[in-house]
Structure 1
Amino acid sequence: MMRFLKSYSDTHLDTVAFLAILGEGSILANAQVASLSRLFYLPRLLPAPQALLRPSRPAILAPHIADVAGVQSGNHKRHVNHVAHVLINGEAFPKHSVRVYKITRNSDAAPDLPKAKTKAPLSVVALLGCAFSLALLILSILMDDGMALLATILLSFLSTVIGIGQKWKLELTKRTSRDTVPPGDVVIRYPKGNFLVIKCTEETSRELYFAPEEIEYQITRPEIYRLISLLGTLMLMFGVICLGSATLPLQICFAASYMLLNAAYWIVAALPHKLHWNLTCFRVEEQKIEKPEPTTFTEALWQAIAVTKSTEWCKTGKAAPTTEAWNQWLHDAEVQARTVEQYVDPTPCTTYQLPDWNPQEALRELMNPSRV
Structure 2
Amino acid sequence: MSWFPLTRDDDNGWRFDIVSLLAVIGESTIERHVQVITASPFAFFPRLSPAPQTVLKTDRPSRLPSIKDVVIVGVHSGTYLTELNFFADVIHEINQLRPYDFRVFHIKHRHAPAVSIPDRNDLEKQPNEHADTTTTTATAEPPDEVIHVPFKRPCAIDFVIIASVIITAGLFVWAGSIGDGVAMIAIATMSLSTSLACLSSSWQPVLSARPTSAEVPNGDIVISTRNRAMVVVHCTEEITRELYCGTEDCRYRLSDRPHRALLGISTVLLMVGVVLFSNCRWMMQTAIGVSYMILNILYWAVPLLMDRRDVWDMSRYVIEQRGPMFPPSRNKPSLTQTLWYAIQETRRTEWARTSNVAPVSQWWDRWLEEALKNCRDITWDPVEAKDVLMAMAKKRKRMPRTDEAEFWFNAVYEAVQEIPRGKVTSYGHIALLLGEPKRPRQVGICLKHLPQPDSDNHFHAGNVPWQRVVNAKGMVSHRGPGSAQRQADALREEGVDVSEDAMGEFYIDLARFGWFPSMLPSEREEMGGMDMSDLEGDEVDEVDEGV
Q: Which residue of 1 aligns with 2:57?
A: 54
Q: Which residue of 2 aligns with 1:148?
A: 183
Q: Which residue of 2 aligns with 1:345?
A: none
Map of 1:122-201 to 2, 5 A cutoff? 122-179=157-214, 182-201=217-236
Q: Structure 1 segments of 4 or more deviating over 6 A?
A: none
SS at match of 2:374: helix
The structural deviation recorded for 1:224 is: 3.0
Please state which structure has a larger fraction of its residues in strand.
1
Over aligned residue pairs, what C-alpha RMSD do you find? 2.4
Letter in 1 for 2:19: A
Q: Which residue of 1 aligns with 2:129?
A: none
SS at match of 1:206: helix
SS at match of 1:40: coil
Say whether the 8 Å CA contact 2:48–2:164 is kept in structure 1. Answer: yes
Q: Which residue of 2 aligns with 1:303?
A: 341
Q: Which has the higher contact order (CA 8 A, sep 6+)?
A: 1
Q: Which residue of 1 aligns with 2:381?
A: 358
Map of 1:318-357 to 2, 5 A cutoff? 318-337=356-375, 339=376, 355-357=378-380
Gaps of 5+ in 1: 341-354
Instruction: Give me the identity figure in percent.
Output: 28
Alpha-carbon spacing, 1:200–1:3, altered in 2? closer, same or farther (3 Å): farther
With 96-105 and 226-235 compared, the bigger mean Cα shift is at 226-235
Alpha-carbon spacing, 1:100–1:3, altered in 2? closer, same or farther (3 Å): farther
Letter in 2 for 1:34: I
**Following the alignment from structure 2 to structure 1, what is the Cα–Cα distance between the partners of residues 27 and 350?**
44
Q: Which residue of 1 aligns with 2:19?
A: 17
Alpha-carbon spacing, 1:359–1:258, altered in 2? closer, same or farther (3 Å): same
Match of 2:81 among 73, 77, 83: 77
**Following the alignment from structure 1 to structure 2, what is the Cα–Cα distance between the partners of residues 118 and 59?**
24
The structural deviation recorded for 1:94 is: 2.3
The structural deviation recorded for 1:5 is: 6.3
Q: Which residue of 1 aligns with 2:418?
A: none
Q: Which residue of 1 aligns with 2:30?
A: 27
Say whether the 8 Å CA contact 2:148–2:204 is kept in structure 1. Answer: no
**Following the alignment from structure 1 to structure 2, what is the Cα–Cα distance between the partners of residues 241 and 300?**
62
Number of matched pairs: 353
The structural deviation recorded for 1:124 is: 0.7
Gaps of 5+ in 2: 113-145, 400-547
The structural deviation recorded for 1:327 is: 2.0
The structural deviation recorded for 1:137 is: 0.9
Q: Which residue of 1 aligns with 2:39?
A: 36
**Following the alignment from structure 2 to structure 1, what is the Cα–Cα distance between the partners of residues 5 and 388?**
78
The structural deviation recorded for 1:45 is: 1.3
With 136-145 and 325-334 compared, the bigger mean Cα shift is at 325-334
Q: Which residue of 2 aligns with 1:93?
A: 97
The structural deviation recorded for 1:323 is: 1.8
| TM-score, length of structure 2 as denominator length | 0.61
Q: Which residue of 1 aligns with 2:253?
A: 218
Say whether the 8 Å CA contact 1:181–1:203 is kept in structure 2. Answer: no
Alpha-carbon spacing, 1:292–1:275, altered in 2? closer, same or farther (3 Å): farther
Alpha-carbon spacing, 1:297–1:153, altered in 2? closer, same or farther (3 Å): same
Alpha-carbon spacing, 1:146–1:296, altered in 2? closer, same or farther (3 Å): same
**Following the alignment from structure 1 to structure 2, what is the Cα–Cα distance between the partners of residues 326 and 67?**
19
The structural deviation recorded for 1:3 is: 4.7
Q: After superposition, give the CA deviation of every residue in 1:95-143 in whole Å (9 maximum; x if it has no partner).
A: 21101111111129xx973211121111011001111110111111112
Say whether the 8 Å CA contact 2:104–2:323 is kept in structure 1. Answer: yes
With 170-179 and 254-263 compared, the bigger mean Cα shift is at 170-179
The structural deviation recorded for 1:8 is: 6.5
**Following the alignment from structure 1 to structure 2, what is the Cα–Cα distance between the partners of residues 30 and 140?**
30
